Structure 1
Amino acid sequence: MYLIHVLVVLSVTWLVDGQPGKCDQTPAQATVLEPAEDKGIFHLEIQNALIKDDKTYYTPDQTYVLTIYTTIPSRPFRWFMITAEDPDVDKNVFEFSHKNIDVGTLKTLDIDKSRYSETCSSSIENADNSDKTSVEIHWVSPKHSMKNQTVRIRAMVAENNEVWYTGDNLTVVLHKNTEKSPDSPPYLPVKVCNLCSEARYEVIFTGKWSRVAHPRHYPSKPDENGYSHMVGASHAYNYTLWQQGASASEGLQMLAEETDGYLMERAIIADMAERTGTRTLIRGKRRHHPFMSEPSHSLFRVDRFHHLFSIAVGMRPSPDWFLGTSKFELCTKDGWLEESEIPLYPWDAGTMDGVSYESRKTVSTPKDNVGRVEVGSFNKDSPFYQMNLNDLKPFAMLKVRRIDVFPLIGADCSEDEEIETEKEDEAEQETEDQNEEDDEEDPEEPVAAESRIIPKPICPIGEWAPWSPCSTSDGNCGTGFRTRTRERVDRNLFYDYQDNPQAQPLSSNCEGDPDAKLIEYRNCFVDCY
């Protein structure tokens, strides 16, 4: 009865989703059930992994080459097995949970020599009995969503049915590399910016996509290649233009699929607000072959409410790929960021299926979230076939530099924090008073003038400025839109800095009417000649 119970437990454990227990790598043909002493003849090696402080690190969602080889050519191996597993699998079945463990994916390259194991999960084994001096297997590391997952790659090689090996020389333990990817902004977004000033910035997008830098499956008609307008905004912490792992907006979908930023620009303008949403529309020139390497510029403003910026640039041709950065933080503890430059690599909007620049477009069903273009793809039609992100050359460079800083003269930037402090102090005082039976405070005593919170008056709204010239999606002719703005008399919140770069904002001595509309837009048309 006890034996039956144990077998049932092991059977149930074997069927649990994820890593189903420690793989027994004993060769099926072995007549000796214990491995021979590991004398360092056979090795397991991983390429492109980061080695630091005697530890090996992997970058999430990347492809790595695993090689099993012999150091003595006259000592080949006949059989092998390689397994990706969580090191905690060494614990017994009652201590180790197999559920939702991502150990990456092993990929077999030569179906004549290797195959996926039918006895062990996440394992590849020999497909024939020939002598081998080396075998290459690819491993795709766990997704970004996995938190600090450690993975052990364990191999077995057998010279014959009596001599087979495992051990340290055939085992690699990999830890998740928590360092930022090369295209990450230098600072993480912060909820509150305490800088009592505003700043003006220039953002410069310089294309690097070329046949020389990216030769694999480069478009067959390069004269039709191009980037869309650079479209973006300076914005608040709670605003998202686009984000990895989130669904693409209609504006991002149009930009990525059609290199048309019209909807995205309208959405940015509609979300402009004094303390939330967006502040400045970022718009740079579109670039086509042969001028794709020429920079695209734009100016924008930031303040302590709108202290981040995001941009996106569509690529043509592509299924739904784009370049850009999301929630780039400019507010630092040392002041407004002076200058920074990051490389840009393609992102996938998740709305169209396609593996290459010129793939036939089909709608993704269901719609995927925004993610990195499949670098390390095992599809030979992909420009990123079996490639590591560290080996991929940038498709563009994005540079942001600070031009001016404008102190907010007369503005009390710490006012909100002081009010919160006063409220906390009052709540603490009330708690103490409840514990005291004799309260000597005179209830009729007047409140000190400096402790009163006097509401600010409403700013008057100025007249509407003239309508802007008609702006079309391709910069030439056709349907477009024009905008006009008006301002609060006391604060130049949405001034057109590109037309008047010397303009400086006044101090804020009054509150804005939250229902007042500061920007309007309407459709227009430019004749094609």
Structure 2
Amino acid sequence: MGAPHPVFPRGAALWAFLLASLGGVAGQPLGAEPMCTAQPLARYSITFTGKWSQASFPKQYPLFRPPAQWSSLLGAAHSSDYSLWRKDQYVSNGLREFAERGEAWALMREMEAAGERLQSVHGVFSAPAVPSGTGQTSSELEAHSRHSLVSFVVRIVPSPDWFVGVDSLDLCDGGSWREQDTVTEITASSPSHPANSFYYPRLKALPPIAKVTLVRLRQSPRAFVPPALDLGVGGNEIVDSLPDPETPLDCEVSLWSSWGLCAGPCGRPGAKSRTRYVRVRPANHGAPCPPLEEEAPCDPDNCV
């Protein structure tokens, strides 16, 4: 179902980063999705669980100023006429503000305006921020048979402009509403550059960085009241009882320096040396550092 993807903007565009693709199936083009014939309204709980730990992601893991954490979750139940974000496409100014600076109000206004003017958004929902890399936050949402798609974003903090999210996950399956689904696939593919904090060339896929669970709630006689839009921090707890998988981090060293002068007595073989330094120290049983100094025989310089 769906696809939470971590993505980041370059220039004016947000490009799919595929660091945290929280989805078993990527969001599909929605121009001709099947008609939902289920009963008009359905309520769901949505639970976001962060799994961004130092054991799973040791490279450049942020410990302070600020430490690893997640922003508020912002989302909407909508029709195929609306797109919160889409892989490889330009994004709105509101989403750009949210991804780059964590400012949520412009994005909230855009979603609400889409509901008022275009009738493409049925409702907006949010969940509090998670103040650490591992924790949980939740909210409730209401979907309509004409607005059965759900999209959301959660910003990775700290980061230049990365986020995870779901794009147009359909909660309706023909004539019925889905009862429960868990979205939890994470892949690593791009950008494949050593400077990337989530670049682990030895791994075919990264450990899960987050997961999302949607559970349909039983209808009650009282009317549905959307949850208050709380963009602050609170109501979170660490919920995973299983230990985080350890991701091996290999040692990284610099290039060799130039060879030094040849040292030794005239008329006899001398020795010269060069050095390099450690860029990234190994962790979690990653490959150890190679030698940092090397010597080679030479003929002494300036002999007369």
TM category (shorter chain) comes to 0.5 to 0.7
Q: For residues 304-315 of structure 1, what are the structure 2 equivalents within 5 Å?
A: 304-315=145-156
Q: For residues 240-279 of structure 1, what are the structure 2 equivalents within 5 Å?
A: 240-273=83-116, 276-279=119-122
Which secondary structure state, in structure 2, belongs to the residue aligned with residue 264 of structure 1?
A: helix
* Structure 1 counterpart of 2:206, from 360, 385, 392: 392
How many residue pairs match? The answer is 207
Which secondary structure state, in structure 2, belongs to the residue aligned with residue 271 of structure 1?
A: helix
Cα gap change, 1:332 to 1:388, in 2 (>3 Å) = farther
How far apart, in 2, do the equivalents of 1:328 and 1:282 lie?
15
> What are the superposed Cα offsets for residues 107-159 of structure 1, whole Å, 9 maximum, x if unpaired?
xxxxxxxxxxxxxxxxxxxxxxxxxxxxxxxxxxxxx9xxxxxxxxxxxxxxx
1:234 matched to 2:77: yes
How far apart, in 2, do the equivalents of 1:341 and 1:392 lie?
18
Answer yes or no: is the 8 Å Cα contact 2:126–2:230 preserved in 1: no
Which secondary structure state, in structure 1, belongs to the residue aligned with residue 167 of structure 2?
A: strand
How far apart, in 2, do the equivalents of 1:219 and 1:257 lie?
17
Cα gap change, 1:253 to 1:186, in 2 (>3 Å) = closer
How far apart, in 1, do the equivalents of 2:214 and 2:52 lie?
20
Residue aligning to 1:401: 215
Answer yes or no: is the 8 Å Cα contact 1:229–1:285 preserved in 2: yes
Answer yes or no: is the 8 Å Cα contact 1:275–1:305 preserved in 2: no
Deviation of the 1:221 alpha carbon: 2.2
Which secondary structure state, in structure 2, belongs to the residue aligned with residue 287 of structure 1?
A: coil
Residue aligning to 1:195: 38
Amino acid at match of 1:314: R
Cα gap change, 1:251 to 1:293, in 2 (>3 Å) = same
Residue aligning to 2:23: 183
How far apart, in 2, do the equivalents of 1:302 and 1:331 lie?
9
How far apart, in 2, do the equivalents of 1:222 and 1:210 lie?
16
Q: Gaps (5+ residues) in structure 1?
A: 1-143, 145-180, 347-372, 408-467, 477-529
Cα gap change, 1:472 to 1:283, in 2 (>3 Å) = closer
Cα gap change, 1:182 to 1:299, in 2 (>3 Å) = closer
Residue aligning to 2:178: 337
> What are the superposed Cα offsets for residues 437-469 of structure 1, whole Å, 9 maximum, x if unpaired?
xxxxxxxxxxxxxxxxxxxxxxxxxxxxxxx99
Amino acid at match of 1:305: R
Deviation of the 1:260 alpha carbon: 2.7
Higher Rg of the two aligned structures: 1
Q: Gaps (5+ residues) in structure 2?
A: 1-15, 222-226, 235-304
> What are the superposed Cα offsets for residues 271-327 of structure 1, whole Å, 9 maximum, x if unpaired?
2149831111110001113xx433111111111111111000011111110011000
Deviation of the 1:403 alpha carbon: 0.4
Cα RMSD after superposing both structures: 3.3
Greater RCO, 1 or 2 (C-alpha within 8 Å, sep 6+): 2
Q: Which has the higher helix share?
A: 1
> What are the superposed Cα offsets for residues 457-513 of structure 1, whole Å, 9 maximum, x if unpaired?
xxxxxxxxxxx99x785569xxxxxxxxxxxxxxxxxxxxxxxxxxxxxxxxxxxxx
Cα gap change, 1:267 to 1:187, in 2 (>3 Å) = closer
How far apart, in 2, do the equivalents of 1:390 and 1:334 lie?
38
Cα gap change, 1:275 to 1:197, in 2 (>3 Å) = farther
How far apart, in 2, do the equivalents of 1:274 and 1:341 lie?
32
Which secondary structure state, in structure 1, belongs to the residue aligned with residue 42 of structure 2?
A: strand
* TM-score normalised to structure 1 length: 0.35
Amino acid at match of 1:381: A
> What are the superposed Cα offsets for residues 85-112 of structure 1, whole Å, 9 maximum, x if unpaired?
xxxxxxxxxxxxxxxxxxxxxxxxxxxx
Amino acid at match of 1:254: E
Residue aligning to 2:196: 382
Cα gap change, 1:184 to 1:261, in 2 (>3 Å) = farther
